[in-house]
Amino acid sequence: MLVDEDKQHLYFKTATGEKGTAVKKIKIKIGEGIAGSVFLTKESEIVNDVTKDPRFTGKIDQQSGFKTRSIIAVPIIINTADNGEEVIGVIEVLNKRESTGFNEEDKKLLESLAGLASVSILNAKFSENQTNFFTKYNRTPCISNRNCKTHIYWKILENDADGYYCCQNVGSTTAL
């Protein structure tokens, strides 16, 4: 689950299994349910009997027709430019097949996968931002027009908090 643009909800970016398609249409509020709690606390959780956990709402089960018995949930955390941390989502695994339930080894494995996921998600967003940046500026006259004799040079100064690039026009040349 990833946080959406308004930073108020989590949505299922990827969901597998027979109910995966139905689940991908559902959003939950930050702080709601076990995943929402994990998002807020930045702490991994193992819940081997959801009926005994007051945070479990059953809302997603009702909407999807799925039956959740146990959950392991891990935050997806990225490091920020100011040396802080930002939670961008939660990975959940439901209903361990063994009757012993989820354990610390499962949690450590899922935390490792969440670390890899955070890097992949960040790289994908960075790549998308680069594509958006160059698409935007390639439409600027004289950059994309091969017949234009003026070439404009941009210097990328930084990527701001909203993911936009701050640029400076550092000059232009005109072919004679």
Beta-strand ranges (E) seen in 30-164 are: 45-47, 71-79, 85-94, 150-159
What pLDDT score does 39 carry? 95
What pLDDT score does 169 carry? 47
The verdict on 65 and 147 lying in the same domain is no
**Would residue 56 count as lying in a domain?**
yes
What pLDDT score does 52 carry? 96
State the residue range of the domain holding 145.
141-174
The verdict on 10 and 88 lying in the same domain is yes
The verdict on 89 and 156 lying in the same domain is no
| Residues contacting 123, CB < 8 A, separation 6+ | none
| Residues contacting 110, CB < 8 A, separation 6+ | 44, 72, 74, 91, 93
Q: Write out the chain's pLDDT in tens, 176 residues.
A: 888 888 898 988 777 777 777 777 788 899 999 999 999 999 999 999 999 999 999 888 888 888 999 999 999 998 877 878 889 899 999 999 888 899 999 999 999 888 888 887 777 766 655 555 554 444 443 343 444 444 444 444 445 555 554 554 444 444 44
The verdict on 120 and 146 lying in the same domain is no
Q: Could you write out the DSSP letters of every residue in 6-57?
A: TSSEEE-S---STTHHHHTT-EEETTSHHHHHHHHH---EEES-GGG-TT--
What pLDDT score does 126 carry? 63
The answer to whether 90 and 35 are in contact (CB under 8 A) is yes
- Count CA atoms closer than 13 A to 121's CA, side-chain side: 21
Taking only Cα atoms into account, the Rg of the chain, rounded to an integer number of angstroms, comes to 22
Q: Please report, for the domain that includes residue 51, its CATH number.
A: 3.30.450.40
What pLDDT score does 19 carry? 73
Number of domains within the chain: 2
pTM value is 0.67
What pLDDT score does 118 carry? 81
**Would residue 136 count as lying in a domain?**
no
Rounded to whole angstroms, how far apart are CA atoms 54 and 46?
14
- For 168, counting Cβ atoms within 10 Å of its Cβ (0-12 exposed, 13-18 middle, 19+ buried), the class is exposed
